[in-house]
Amino acid sequence: MLKIVAILLSSDTSFLRDCSPCHQPRKSEKQPSNQEIPGPKTTPALPPPVKFPPLGLLVKSGSQVPIAEAHCLIFVRENLPSLPAPDVCGWCSDDNQNFIYMELLDGPTLEQCWSDLDEDGKIDICQQLWEMVKS
């Protein structure tokens, strides 16, 4: 279980949890080239998230990754418990690049599955999401 630490390191850096035994990946680990990671096409400003399965950690990074995304994930986890959302360990900014450290949730993303769903499946998912957020 993650221990709450709530350390504010600076105005653009915050780690909310002691992610032990997680370590903060080095900058070279956080930004592999797009050729190294299979997945959807990306722009240089928005590399794909980097997964660290042994640590249960996912790092989103890039100049277009808003720190507000971390705040939204925290809000969703605290206020919409029926909606699955990763636990945010923290975030930081370095050289105009933002980094969000979060729990790695296992399984395919909705984006990966969407094209394989028929119309009824897509409508069912939309209805489930509506039920989760309508309150």
Residue-wise pLDDT tens for the chain (135 aa)? Answer: 333 333 333 345 566 655 543 444 444 444 444 444 455 555 555 788 999 999 999 999 998 999 999 999 999 899 888 788 899 999 999 888 899 999 999 888 888 999 999 999 999 999 988 887 776
pLDDT value of residue 74: 93
Q: How far apart are CA 13 and CA 55, in angstroms?
A: 21
Of the candidates 112, 113, 90, 93, the one whose C-alpha atom is nearest the C-alpha of residue 103 is: 90
**Same domain (yes/no): 11, 42:** yes
pLDDT value of residue 10: 39
Q: How far apart are CA 8 and CA 109, in angstroms?
A: 31
pLDDT value of residue 87: 94
User: Which residue range is the domain that position 34 belongs to?
Assistant: 3-104
**Same domain (yes/no): 79, 133:** no
**Which residue type is seen at 12?**
D
**Same domain (yes/no): 17, 66:** yes
**Same domain (yes/no): 96, 125:** no
**Same domain (yes/no): 94, 112:** no
**Same domain (yes/no): 100, 126:** no
**Same domain (yes/no): 23, 47:** yes
pLDDT value of residue 96: 87
pTM over 0.95: no
**Same domain (yes/no): 16, 74:** yes
Q: How far apart are CA 14 and CA 7, in angstroms?
A: 6
pLDDT value of residue 47: 82
